[in-house]
Amino acid sequence: MLLILAIVQNQDAGGLLDSLIARDYRATRIQTVGGFLQEGNATVLAVIENRQLADALGIIQANCHTRQHHVNAIPALSEASMLTTPYPIEVEVGGATVFVFDVVRLERI
């Protein structure tokens, strides 16, 4: 058994959950916040059989899309420049950041 932990964008989380459930996977969505952007994202947990890994990753890939986000960065202070005016930078977020763990045991008690 494997635990898939997928960090996805909020816009993609509902469709991903629907697609997983439609294919008979069990899944849980947790509201989370990304450390860099400090924006809400979603973490989806699903325990699957090892043979289902490729299928489950395919469902994640089909539902999670890459998007550009803009964030204001503050330049580092240097001797040459005392400017601290924030400037916009663009970062590419997603589709999904996926971690796969071995599961020793699953109990429903």
Per CB under 6 A, residues contacting ligand 2BA are 7, 34-37, 41, 91-94, 97
Tokens representing residue 3 in the block? 């635990």
SS3 96: strand
- The minimum distance between CB 105 and ligand 2BA, in angstroms, equals 25
Nearer to ligand 2BA, 49 or 94 (CB): 94
> Who's near 22: CB < 8 A, 6+ residues apart?
none
- The minimum distance between CB 69 and ligand 2BA, in angstroms, equals 7
- The minimum distance between CB 96 and ligand 2BA, in angstroms, equals 8
Task: Please state whether beta strands 87-93 and 67-73 pair in parallel, antiparallel, or not at all (unpaired).
Answer: antiparallel
Nearer to ligand 2BA, 72 or 79 (CB): 72
Q: How far apart are CA 61 and CA 49, in angstroms?
A: 18
